[in-house]
């Protein structure tokens, strides 16, 4: 079979979220004919108007002549390369939910033409591309892998909110079902990724390489979280300990915190799912996940304890600053701040949350929570700086924002990311750090 050359410049990106949209924009900027496909027509309407709710790309990047958007599946027909970049979440039982992955594969399968390559970028367990994606592609297309078409896997590595490293600045791992397809993908991605290409020896290796990136981070943060729990019992500030330890060159300065989002808090479950499927018990990975899942309850308990010690009214009025899963992004998927709020409410606390980046209607639909303006959460007995958005810390004076929310400017401040300068804390405020 004939594999399309890079000069064909005919690419479709299926899924226009935090991953797919920057990929589509990057290829279009290099002169490739790019179709961005998504089933969310509201999302497409915004993109056609030059608006990206994820703040991943600029309005100018959305109006490139080589870039078009469609929700019409038939528009995918005839594309030489289809790149699938859809979410891979977990369900309520922490099991992989491959529904978006499977639906995207079916969509690609119905429109694939002989000679094309389908590339999956979604984070999955080793074997998912070949064991789940390929059968769907063959069933829907009536074509055969290795005879009529090829598949590839090139894991997404985009870090939302990172202004220093965009899609082109991160080394791209590529793999494919044949050596020829692998070379084609290396050339294709090499045209837009300046950081370099790493060719994995197999698709499963590439899948595994991606999923352990976030598993490793999850475990390192879990260790810091467990140490934070221990040090609080000892009356030691965890950040002071880390500051001392990192003076040695080989210490890795991971920080404690709430581990959520659609990557670090999810990907390890894909690996443990596959491990259980083949009869292996991944004790360390699951132990780390258990520690990180327990952090919202730990933090909520400590905040209530500190409130009691200070003699604050019970139950307290608590203001939460930040709801997204990380700083300076509008994404609230799998945010552990939501879990923290639920835990505080179990203690009877009256909780109000403010986040200037989160999308109100999405928060209401997904979590049944109302986002408030900053002035509407004032009069709190305790404030939790949950997410260190730049807007909260403007001018290096986050204390002004935090103190302005407290009743009479006094009370408890829980600084989870340790973003506030301790020495600048007002005298009538008690600071608690994770």
Q: Residues with catalytic annotation? A: 263
CA-to-CA distance for 344 and 346, rounded, in angstroms? 5
10-14 and 81-84: which strand pairing?
Answer: parallel
Contacts of 278 (CB under 8 A, 6+ apart): none
CA-to-CA distance for 93 and 77, rounded, in angstroms? 37
- Beta-strand runs (E) in 177-302: 197-199
Q: What is the DSSP string of 293-336?
A: HTHHHHHHHHHHHHHHHTT--SSPEEEEE--SSSTT----TT-H
In degrees, rounded to 5, the angle at the alpha carbon of residue 225 between the alpha carbons of residues 222 and 229 is 140
317-321 and 350-354: which strand pairing?
Answer: parallel
Closest by Cα among 312, 305, 353, 359 to 332: 359
Q: Is 387 helix (H, G, I), strand (E, B) or coil?
A: coil
CA distances for 291 relative to 40, 227, 399, angstroms = 36, 11, 30
150-153 and 172-176: which strand pairing?
Answer: antiparallel
Instruction: Provide the angle, in degrees to the nearest 10, between the axes of the packed helices 283-293 and 267-277.
Output: 140
Closest by Cα among 73, 207, 192, 113 to 153: 207
Closest by Cα among 401, 369, 363 to 385: 401
Phi-psi region of 146 (alpha: psi -120 to 50; beta: other; left: phi over 0): left
């Amino acid at each position: 079979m004939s594999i399309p050359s890079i000069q064909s410049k005919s690419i479709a990106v299926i899924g226009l979220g935090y991953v797919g949209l920057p990929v589509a924009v990057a290829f279009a900027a290099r002169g490739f004919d790019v179709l961005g496909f998504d089933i969310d027509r509201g999302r497409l309407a915004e993109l056609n108007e030059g608006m990206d709710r994820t703040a991943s790309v600029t309005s100018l990047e959305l109006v490139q002549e080589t870039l078009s958007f469609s929700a019409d599946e038939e528009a995918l027909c005839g594309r030489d390369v289809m790149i699938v970049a859809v979410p891979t979440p977990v369900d309520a039982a922490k099991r992989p939910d491959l529904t978006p992955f499977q639906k995207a594969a079916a969509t690609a399968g119905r429109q694939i033409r002989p000679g094309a390559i389908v590339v999956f970028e979604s984070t999955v367990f080793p074997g998912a591309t070949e064991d789940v994606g390929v059968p769907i592609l063959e069933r829907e297309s009536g074509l055969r892998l290795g005879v009529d078409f090829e598949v590839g896997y090139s894991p997404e590595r985009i870090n939302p909110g990172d202004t220093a490293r965009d899609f082109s600045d991160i080394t791209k791992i590529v793999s494919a079902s044949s050596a020829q397809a692998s070379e084609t993908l290396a050339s294709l991605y090499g045209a837009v990724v300046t950081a370099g290409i790493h060719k994995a020896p197999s698709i499963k290796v590439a899948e595994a390489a991606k999923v352990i990136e976030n598993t490793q981070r999850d475990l390192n943060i879990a260790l810091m979280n467990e140490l934070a729990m221990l040090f609080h019992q000892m009356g030691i500030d965890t950040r002071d300990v880390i500051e001392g330890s990192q003076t040695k060159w080989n210490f890795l300065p991971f920080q404690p915190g709430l581990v959520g989002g659609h990557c670090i808090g999810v990907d390890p479950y894909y690996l443990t799912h596959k491990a259980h499927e083949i009869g292996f018990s991944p004790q360390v990975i699951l132990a780390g996940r258990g520690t990180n899942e327990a952090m919202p309850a730990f933090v909520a308990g400590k905040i209530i304890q500190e409130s009691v010690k200070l003699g604050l009214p019970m139950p307290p009025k608590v203001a939460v600053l930040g709801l997204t899963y990380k700083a300076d992004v509008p994404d609230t998927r799998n945010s552990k701040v939501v879990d923290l709020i639920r835990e505080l409410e179990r203690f009877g606390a009256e909780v109000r949350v403010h986040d200037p980046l989160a999308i109100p209607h999405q928060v209401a639909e997904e979590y049944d929570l109302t986002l408030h303006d900053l002035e509407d959460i004032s009069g709190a007995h305790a404030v939790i700086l949950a997410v260190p958005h730049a807007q909260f810390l403007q001018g290096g004076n986050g204390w002004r924002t935090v103190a302005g929310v407290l009743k009479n400017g006094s009370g408890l401040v829980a600084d989870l990311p340790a973003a506030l300068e301790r020495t600048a804390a007002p005298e009538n405020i008690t600071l608690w750090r994770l």
